[in-house]
A and B are shown apart, each in its own frame.
Chain A
Amino acid sequence: MFLSMNWIQDFVDLSGLDKVKLIQRFSLSTAEVENEIFFKGSDLSGVVVAEIKSVENHPDSKKLHLLKVDAGEPELTDVVCGAPNVRVGMKTAFAKIGAKIGEINIAPRPLAGFTSYGMCCSEAEIGISDDNSGIMDITDDVPNGTDIKSLYQIDDIVFEVDNKSLTNRPDLWGHYGIAREFAALAGRELKPLDVENLSAYDNLKKVDMKIEDSLCQRYSCMQVENVTRHISPVNMRIRLFYCGMRGINFLADLTNYLMLEMGQPMHAFDSRKVEKIRIKRFDTPFTFKTLDGVERNIDENTLMICNDNTPVAIAGIMGGLDSEIVDDTTTLTLESATFDSVSVRKSTVRLAHRTDASIRYEKCLDPENTTVAIGRFLNLLKKYDNGVQVVSSLTDEYAFHYDTVKLDFDKAFVDRYTGIEIDNNTIVNTLESLGFKVSLENDNFSVVVPSWRATKDVTIKADIIEEITRIFGYDNFEINTTRSPLYPVRMTTVKNNEDKIKDILVKRYNLHELHSYVWAYNDELKALEIPVEENVRLANATNPNIEVIRNSIIPTQLCQVNSNTAYAPEFGIFEIGRVVNGLDENNLCIENKKLAITLFSKVKDIKDLYFELRDILAVITDDIKHKNITFKACEPEHSYEHPVNLNKVMLDGVEIGKIGIVHPVVGKKIDKKASIVFAEIDMNVFANSKDKGITYSEPSKFPPMDYDLSLVIPEGVLYENLTECWISEGRDILKNTKIVDTYDTALVHSITVRFEFSSNERTLSSNEVQEIMDKVIENLAKIGVNLR
Chain B
Amino acid sequence: MDEKILTLKEEFKDTLSSVTNLVDLEKVRVAYLGKKGSITALLKGMKDLSVEEKKVFGANVNKLKNYATDIIDEKIAELKELEIQHEISSMPKFDITSPADLTRGSYHPITLVQRQCETIFKSMGFNVEDYSEIVTDYECFESLNIPKHHPARDMQDTYYLENGQLLKSQTSAAQNAILKKYGKRLIENGEPIKAIFPGRCFRNEATDACHENTFFQMEGVMVDKDISISNLIFFMKTMLSEVFQKEINVRLRPGFFPFVEPGFELDISCLICGGEGCPSCKHSGWLELCPCGMIHPNVLREGGIDPDKYTGFAFGLGLTRLAMMKYGVKDIRDLNSGNLKSLSQFTDDEV
Contacts and interface: CB of A to CB of B under 8 A. Distances in A.
Contacts of A167: 151-152, 256
A593 B132 CA distance: 9
Contacts of B164: 587
A104 interface: no
A165 B155 CA distance: 12
Greatest chain B CB density within 10 A among A168, A559, A571 is at A168
Contacts of A60: none
Contacts of A518: 133, 167, 200, 202, 214
A539 B151 contact: no
A589 interface: yes
Greatest chain B CB density within 10 A among A484, A494, A536, A571 is at A484
Interface stretch (A218-226, A262-270, A462-470): A462-470
A30 interface: yes
A536 B162 contact: yes
Contact of A494 (B130, B152, B231, B235): B130
A28 interface: yes
Given A29-B254, A465-B294, A479-B234, A418 B134 contact: no
Interface stretch (A505-513, A640-648, A759-767): A505-513
A95 B192 CA distance: 71
B202 to A, nearest CB: 7
B133 A491 contact: no
A35 B286 CA distance: 10
Nearest to B121: A489
Contacts of A35: 282-284
B160 A539 contact: yes
Interface in A453-467: 460-463, 465-466
Interface stretch (A187-195, A248-256, A560-568): A560-568
A538 B263 CA distance: 32
B230 A419 contact: yes
A538 B161 contact: yes
Contact of A479 (B108, B233, B294): B233
Contact of B204 (A164, A540, A580): A540
Interface in A30-78: 30-32, 35
Nearest to B152: A167
B338 A486 contact: no
B104 interface: yes
Contacts of A22: none
Interface string B96-112: 00000001111110110
Contacts of A366: none
Interface residues of A, number: 89
Contact of A513 (B111, B127, B296): B111
Nearest to B313: A482
Interface in A380-434: 416-420
Interface string A723-740: 000000000000000000
Contacts of B200: 518, 578
Interface string A4-46: 0000000000000000000000011111100100000000000
B50 interface: no
A484 B192 contact: yes
Contact of B254 (A418, A420, A470, A478): A470
Contact of A563 (B235, B336, B338): B338
Interface string A539-580: 111100000010000000001100110011001110000101
Nearest to B228: A419
Interface in B128-164: 128-130, 132-134, 136, 149, 151-152, 154-155, 159-164
A721 to B, nearest CB: 36
B284 A517 contact: no
Nearest to B338: A560
A88 interface: no
Contact of B105 (A416, A460, A506): A506
A734 to B, nearest CB: 38
Contacts of B122: 489, 491
Interface in B159-202: 159-165, 167, 190-192, 194, 200, 202
A573 B343 CA distance: 11
B22 to A, nearest CB: 33
Contacts of B238: 481
B339 interface: yes
B340 A564 contact: yes
B204 A542 contact: yes
Contacts of B214: 517-518
A200 interface: no
Given A462-B294, A510-B104, A571-B340, A485 B191 contact: yes
A343 to B, nearest CB: 10
A777 B230 CA distance: 76
A465 B344 CA distance: 48
Contacts of A588: 136, 163, 165
B190 A485 contact: yes
A537 B336 contact: no
Nearest to B336: A515
Given A462-B261, A512-B106, A512-B344, A484 B134 contact: no
Contacts of B226: 416, 419, 482-483
Given A469-B262, A563-B338, A567-B340, A502 B228 contact: no
Contacts of A536: 161-163
B227 interface: yes
B234 to A, nearest CB: 5
Contacts of A743: none
B341 A567 contact: yes
Contacts of A559: 338
Contacts of A30: 254
Contacts of B311: 416-417
A572 B253 CA distance: 46
B29 interface: no
A633 interface: no
B290 interface: no
Contacts of A470: 254, 262
Contact of B262 (A342, A466, A489, A492): A466
Nearest to A345: B151
B335 interface: yes
Contacts of B151: 167, 345, 362
Interface string A370-384: 000000000000000
A692 interface: no
Interface string A324-361: 00000000000000000010011001000000000000
Contacts of B132: 578, 591
A87 interface: no
A419 B231 contact: yes
Contacts of B163: 536, 583, 587-589
A597 to B, nearest CB: 11
Interface string B74-118: 000000000000000000000000000001111110110001000
B222 interface: yes
A132 interface: no
A32 B234 contact: no
B274 interface: no
Contacts of A489: 122, 125-128
A502 B346 CA distance: 13
24 contacts: A167-B152, A416-B225, A418-B229, A460-B261, A460-B297, A462-B296, A463-B262, A465-B229, A466-B262, A480-B231, A482-B227, A487-B192, A506-B105, A506-B106, A507-B105, A513-B106, A514-B108, A515-B335, A517-B214, A518-B167, A540-B160, A564-B338, A567-B340, A588-B136
Interface of A: 27-32, 35, 164-165, 167-168, 342, 345-346, 349, 362, 416-420, 460-463, 465-466, 469-470, 474-475, 477-492, 494-495, 499, 502, 505-507, 509-518, 536-542, 549, 559-560, 563-564, 567-568, 571-573, 578, 580, 583, 587-589, 591, 593
Given A461-B297, A489-B126, A541-B204, 10 more contacts: A28-B251, A167-B256, A416-B226, A417-B294, A419-B226, A474-B233, A495-B129, A507-B104, A541-B159, A578-B132
